[in-house]
Chains A and B, each alone.
Chain A
Amino acid sequence: MNTVIDAHNISKVYNKETIPVYAVNNVHLHIEKGEFTALVGPSGSGKTTLLNLIGGLDKPDEGQVRINGLDITGLSANQLIDFRLKNIGFVFQSFNLIPVLTAKENVEFIMQLQGVERSKREARVKQLFGQIEMTDKLDSRPAQLSGGQQQRVAVARALATKPQFVLADEPTANLDSQSAANLLDIMAKLNKEEQITFLFSTHDQRVIDRAHRVITLVDGKITSDTATVSTTHDNVSEKK
């Protein structure tokens, strides 16, 4: 197996000086390449905090986060930005896109930050927009796109730099059923065809139903970790 994410004994505590609140409490988590995992739990259970810790947006107070074997908890803020750019794709709940750029420019922008040359950028944009089935919306501004279309562009942007994995924080929360289903279809297809690792935080049963592994978080602790199908596509099996 190829471990992409290895969170070891990580905790995040708020209000350390007064009444400590454990947003994430001594969590162990391993995610293998190609997994399609949902992180579920009630509001305030620590899903987003855990995602932020794994994504290098926040630092744990205890424990280590290793991405492809590299301990990112020791990286400086600047090194983390660089690390995120090269290794992690993000899809947020909403307002993912830069409103002044077109859909194409939003995806290209992330590659520009990486210094990818124009011809390669254009080829990648073409490929990604084909995968998200939005080749006719290249020049549309985010305001001209529906919520679902915006999230699909956000997925394309997250994948533009060919990251190790994609973190998606409640990606379907603001979408209607049809848009959510379309988005999930696209992500599932990318997961299956390109072995892209996805880790979602979600409340949405539609996402949970499509996930291959469901991790439940309550009060910052993992209370269950269930594989619903084989976690990689080498051997897809039925629900346990």
Chain B
Amino acid sequence: MAWKNMWRNNMRTLITMAAIFFAVILSVIASSLKDGIFNNLVKNVVSFYTGYVQVHKQGYWNEQILDNSFESSAGATRKILSDKNVLTVTSRIESFALASSAAITKGALVAGIEPEKENQITLLKNKIVQGSYLKDNEQAVLLSQGLAERLKLKTNDTVLLIGQGYHGATAAGKYLIKGIVKFGSPELNGKSLFMPLAVAQDFYSANGMVTSYILSLKDTRDLQTTRSTMAEALGPAYEVMTWEELMPDIKQHIASDSNNMKYIQGILYLLICFGIFGTLLMMMVERKFEMGMLLAVGMKKTKLVFLLMVESVFTVITGCLLGIAASIPIVYYLNRHPLKMGGETARIYEKFGFEAIFPTSTSAAIFIHQGMVVLLIGLLLSLYPVYKVIRLDPVTAMKR
């Protein structure tokens, strides 16, 4: 009977299903766009420099000096790589030095890197705008574009570095500029200088020492789990930090934007509520006499409530499932062919090194979560007919 009732007014049932169907599609797309944009932002920012997770000697992050470096060990690297979620690990030694050309001296962040592994994580090779990339043990450096401009240097010139090495040793050296790299971040673009790890260790008189391990992950959603298991495996001598701790301002920005999106989603859910409620209201008005008649002839209210619940739940679930099914190809298409920004906005994004695209996230959790939210809204609204039936008086209902 519930099935027949659903189709007594095809248009009404189809309108209800369509309201739920489009609601699920819209909320899934909105949510997957939100997650996709944030994931892309994190990917962009993380691939600038920090990586998803960093390992330091305990206390390094609060006092970033060479004396807080640690000896790179195969054992520690093995422990890191034993975590199934770790994709790549690379070592760095970082400190500050003065970089000079013929007549100009500027402060520079001098980073010793493992060229190939570094490229796997931060795609440094892609950022070269002039010259070529480094090779292991090569006595050469890459200069960030801003620093090169300030020092008035170009590829094949020589840069002189002077600074303080490990345990107060003097660090000095003269290096060939093999390439110029361009960063979206003005801060990194204005002061970075890269050289092979062994060359940097030699420069800082810190043979075998590194200041950090930089990690890339297979599944970035497992960030906290990876951090915890790694901290446990490496012990208290090391500090393990996620990108969220390394760049709290980015995390805060995402949290703030995410809250704004919640308001938009709230409005969307409200529209969904009105859509579903409107049809339920219509149904109750249309069937009021009939319900009164059913109670009059002896149908128990519990049975009538059950009948209406079956109709509503079936309609809502069908709408939800169809909505999820239809949203899957849309979301996957928008993931493979992301929405692209154009014009000035795109240029600003690209200037800061971000891809000017809005990809969607294809996480199954989004489909399930949004489907469940709309289902819950539908089911909660289905309580309206239940409420009306409980209060229904057959005499009043059958008055015309």
Is the pairing of A and B real? Answer: yes
Instruction: Using C-beta atoms within 8 Å of the partner chain, give the interface range for chain B.
Output: 20 to 34
Q: Does A203 contact B (CB under 8 A)?
A: no
Task: Determine the chain B residues whose CB is within 8 A of the CB of A32 once the complex forms.
Answer: none
Please give the distance in Å from B8's CB to the nearest CB on chain A: 5
Q: Does A98 contact B (CB under 8 A)?
A: yes
Please give the distance in Å from A100's CB to the nearest CB on chain B: 4
Chain A residues 82-110 with CB under 8 Å of chain B are 82, 84-86, 90, 92, 95-96, 98-101, 109-110
Cβ-defined contact, B295 with A81, below 8 A: yes
Cβ-defined contact, A157 with B297, below 8 A: yes
Q: Does B303 contact A (CB under 8 A)?
A: yes
Task: Determine the chain B residues whose CB is within 8 A of the CB of A99 once the complex forms.
Answer: 8, 290
- The listed residue (B4, B8, B290) touching A95 by CB distance below 8 A is B290
Give the interface of B toward A (CB within 8 A). 1, 4-5, 7-8, 289-290, 293-301, 303, 394-395, 398
Cβ-defined contact, B293 with A85, below 8 A: no
How far is it, in angstroms, between the C-alpha of A81 and the C-alpha of B293 when the chains are bound?
A: 11
Cβ-defined contact, A90 with B297, below 8 A: yes
Cβ-defined contact, B8 with A100, below 8 A: yes
Task: Determine the chain B residues whose CB is within 8 A of the CB of A96 once the complex forms.
Answer: 293
Cβ-defined contact, B298 with A101, below 8 A: no
Cβ-defined contact, A98 with B298, below 8 A: no
- What per-residue 1/0 map shows which CB atoms of A64-84 lie under 8 Å from chain B? 000000000000001001101
Most chain A CB within 10 A, of B293, B298, B303, is at B298
Please give the distance in Å from A84's CB to the nearest CB on chain B: 5
Q: How many residues of A contact B (CB 8 A)?
A: 25
Q: Does A62 contact B (CB under 8 A)?
A: no
Please give the distance in Å from A199's CB to the nearest CB on chain B: 15
Cβ-defined contact, A95 with B293, below 8 A: yes
Please give the distance in Å from A147's CB to the nearest CB on chain B: 15
Contact A85 B297, CB 8 Å, known A57-B395, A92-B398: yes
Q: Does A182 contact B (CB under 8 A)?
A: no
Q: Does A55 contact B (CB under 8 A)?
A: yes
Please give the distance in Å from B307's CB to the nearest CB on chain A: 11
- The listed residue (B4, B298, B301, B395) touching A110 by CB distance below 8 A is B298
Please give the distance in Å from B398's CB to the nearest CB on chain A: 7
Task: Determine the chain B residues whose CB is within 8 A of the CB of A109 once the complex forms.
Answer: 1
- The listed residue (B5, B298, B394) touching A85 by CB distance below 8 A is B298
- The listed residue (B1, B289, B296, B301) touching A84 by CB distance below 8 A is B296
Please give the distance in Å from A2's CB to the nearest CB on chain B: 23
Q: Does A113 contact B (CB under 8 A)?
A: yes
Closest A residue, CB atoms, query B4? A100
Cβ-defined contact, A95 with B296, below 8 A: no
Q: Does A228 contact B (CB under 8 A)?
A: no
